Amino acid sequence: RHCRSPTKDEKNMAQRIRKAFVMSVNDGCEAEYTKRHSPIWPELEAVLKEHGVHNYSIFLLPETRQLFAYAEIEDEARWAAIAKTEVCQKWWSRMGDIMPANPDGSPVATDLTETFHLD
């Protein structure tokens, strides 16, 4: 049998941290929220990838206007550093009229606790 070492991507995937959180969109702004994410700005996409974000998805529950977000990240500090980037600050400003925001402009978000996972 031939044994091989895991590739860099395989090692990276094994070490990713799964993040999930809930936000919301203002009543009547659901279509605009989707429009603004179709697609996101290329410079925002680049910042997310540069900070180790993978498999980022956001889902809308129309009945409650809740947004469920899921991302896999490489590092908590790099994830937190995204908020300090100029492009993230501009994105928050752009989105502030269609979703609840904190005093610093960030979207109101609640982290979720993982209760089950299956690879």
Is the confidence at residue 42, as pLDDT, over 60? yes
Whether the CB-CB separation of 59 and 25 falls below 8 Å is answered with no
pTM recorded for the entire structure: 0.86
In which order are the strands placed within the sheet that holds 110-111? 53-61, 66-73, 17-24, 110-111
Is residue 2 part of the annotated active site? The answer reads: no
**The pLDDT value given to residue 49:** 98
How many other β-carbons are positioned within 10 Å of the β-carbon of residue 45?
A: 14
**The pLDDT value given to residue 44:** 98
Give 84's pLDDT tier (boundaries 50, 70, 90).
Answer: very high
pLDDT digits (tens, 9 = 90+) for 56-66: 999 999 999 99
| Cis, peptide link before residue 39, omega less than 30° from 0 | yes
* Active-site residue (options: 2, 37, 51, 117): 37
Give residues with Cβ within 8 angstroms of 20, minimum separation 6.
68, 69, 70, 111, 112, 114
